Amino acid sequence: MNEGEMRPDGGCRALMFLGTGSDVGKSVVTAAFCRILKRRGYRVAPFKAQNMSNNSYVTVEGGEIGRAQVVQAEAAGLLPSVDMNPILLKPSTGMGAQVVMHGQVYGRLDALDYHRLKPRLRKAVLEAYRRLASQHEVIVLEGAGSCCEMNLKRNDLVNFAMAKAVGAPCILVADIDRGGVFAQIIGSWHLMSRRERALTAGFIVNKFRGDERLFASGVEYIEKRTGRPVLGVVPFFEDIVIDQEDSVALQEDRRAMARTAPDKVNIAVLRFPVISNFTDLEALEGEPGVVVNYLSRPADLSSDYDALILPGTKNVMEDAVWLEKTGWIPVVRAFLGSGRRVLGICGGYQIMGEAVEDPWGVESERPEVPGLGILPVKTVLAEEKVVRRVAGRSLIGGERVAGYEIHMGLTAPIGGEGEAFLELHRPGERNGWQDGWAVRGGLAAGTYLHGILDEPGFRGAFLNALRRAKGLGESKPGPGRRRRFHQYDRLADHFEAHCDVPRILGLVEG
């Protein structure tokens, strides 16, 4: 993007949060300030030109965006829109990713092909921003990764290039919890061009632990070396529940294993190497008396667990091969054979079947891989992606369900026992279809429906079946993901208490 390439119409102001690296908290900071601005009466919207995440969501338009922009939109009091995240990259291999543009699949590209596509991507990004700017008073932008990756700057369309294009003042977010905060901030400052420094209004030191007074000399040092203010030292929090942008915490084993107990419902989640849409499980994690652990080794699936959930995966072919190589297949079959429950969602559902075929090379060069063989179904991966919001009911227990589908496969029964799991339809339409498959009265079941556990009726029935099986009393379901709306106010309160909010808002009010 060229400086001055675009200015928003209608007097819309912009504020941008950049990062010294990935996972420093940019998404959460952006959500916090979307909420802060909303509470002050602004018509505010979030924007991230390009996001890389396998944790996605289907908007009301039927398009796919990153989950972080969903959180930010909800914090701003808005329905999520594809314009808030015009480019979404969904990594599926070490060298390639599926490119989603304006909510729809463009194709699967490697890094070099993606860079060749940048001129078209820039156009898509600017068109989306213009539409948002014409409808709102303030746009809060989020950068991606480090804002000073020198080998990527030339083709940048999400960090300083975006800030220059819309004239956004920038605040650089650093993560003190990982260490090296002075190198993060001062190193980034020295890598900035003169124009980039001019756009940088200050810094936020995020994820601080301990007594903030002990960091006073650190603030003074940063401000002396850069000539820019530290606008906040924000303490680490663990009691505010905000959706994570991606599966970094899962993939890097940063989640502590909770202790299972006989008086609790203990649920294991199979942690695929390319796990996606893990937010499907967060409603369970918030339930009292429920333990949820993510497992990568079959040896960890002990007899203490009452249920196993196979979540989504961005590369079902390779993750199915991983299951076989690591010895998961006989372990999962034995778990089900002992009378305990197995639920698969999207890619997990596909893997529960007899086999997955990939005749067009959608995910892999392998034409076919075996599944777990616990559902009599077969999946054929298709080139056209299914992206839609749906609602319906369970055909096993009758509970209402709702959510969305994001998948590139068609799954069909191939004989044997069982029955369809759900009856679904698009909201507002009468004609529907049957989804998923279940055997043994639902003891093993799979579905394409993301968000099925968000519905309190289904979640309550699922958990109470587990409680009855181990002799525990039934309970009403908790608030689940509905609690997140109160969490946005708690998040805003947290940042208001530890940031110079008047000075930050002055960047858009002045």
pLDDT tens profile 199-258:
999 999 999 999 999 999 999 999 999 999 999 999 999 888 887 655 444 444 455 789
Separation CA 457–CA 152 (nearest Å): 48
Separation CA 433–CA 430 (nearest Å): 10
Which one from 346, 407, 498, 499 is the annotated catalytic residue? Answer: 346
Q: Are strands 377-394 and 422-425 parallel, antiparallel or unpaired?
A: antiparallel
CATH 3.40.50.880 in the chain is located at: 264-471
The pLDDT of residue 250 is 44
User: Strands, DSSP E only, in 271-416?
Assistant: 275-276, 290-295, 307-310, 312-313, 341-345, 355-357, 368-370, 377-394, 400-413
Better pLDDT: 215 or 119 = 215
The yes-or-no answer on residue 190 being catalytic is no
The string of DSSP letters for 68-125 reads HHHHHHHHTT----GGGSSEEEEE-SSSEEEEEETTEEEEEEEHHHHHHTHHHHHHHH
pLDDT tens profile 496-506:
999 999 999 99
Say which residues have a Cβ less than 8 Å from residue 491's Cβ, sequence separation at least 6: 28, 31, 32, 35, 75, 240, 242
CATH 3.40.50.300 in the chain is located at: 13-242+486-509
Residue range 418-444: average pLDDT?
95
Whether the pLDDT of residue 192 is over 90: the answer is: yes
φ/ψ of residue 76, rounded to 5: -85, 0
By three-state DSSP, how is residue 247 classified?
coil
Residue range 306-313: average pLDDT?
97
How buried is residue 155: exposed, middle or buried, by Cβ count under 10 Å (0-12/13-18/19+)? middle
Its pTM stands at: 0.85
CB atoms within 10 A of CB 109: 17
pLDDT tens profile 248-275:
444 444 557 899 999 999 999 999 998 9
> What DSSP state is assigned to residue 488?
H
Say which residues have a Cβ less than 8 Å from residue 384's Cβ, sequence separation at least 6: 408
Q: Are 308 and 347 in contact (CB under 8 A)?
A: no
Better pLDDT: 238 or 294 = 294
Separation CA 475–CA 394 (nearest Å): 20
Say which residues have a Cβ less than 8 Å from residue 413's Cβ, sequence separation at least 6: 376, 377, 437
Which position has the token pair 């249920």? 307
The yes-or-no answer on residue 346 being catalytic is yes
> Looking at domain 264-471, which CATH architecture does it have?
3-Layer(aba) Sandwich (3.40)
CATH topology of domain 13-242+486-509: Rossmann fold (3.40.50)
By three-state DSSP, how is residue 341 classified?
strand
Better pLDDT: 497 or 8 = 497
Q: Are 204 and 499 in contact (CB under 8 A)?
A: yes
Give me the chain's average pLDDT, please.
92
The percentage of the chain sitting over the pLDDT mark of 90, rounded to a whole number, equals 79
Better pLDDT: 110 or 480 = 110
Q: Are strands 87-91 and 290-295 parallel, antiparallel or unpaired?
A: unpaired
Q: Are 242 and 28 in contact (CB under 8 A)?
A: yes
Q: Which long-range contacts (CB under 8 A, 24 or more apart) does 470-478 make?
A: 470/262, 470/265, 470/306, 472/263, 472/265, 475/288, 475/289, 477/287, 478/286, 478/287, 478/288
Q: Are 308 and 342 in contact (CB under 8 A)?
A: yes
Which one from 102, 136, 450, 498 is the annotated catalytic residue? Answer: 450
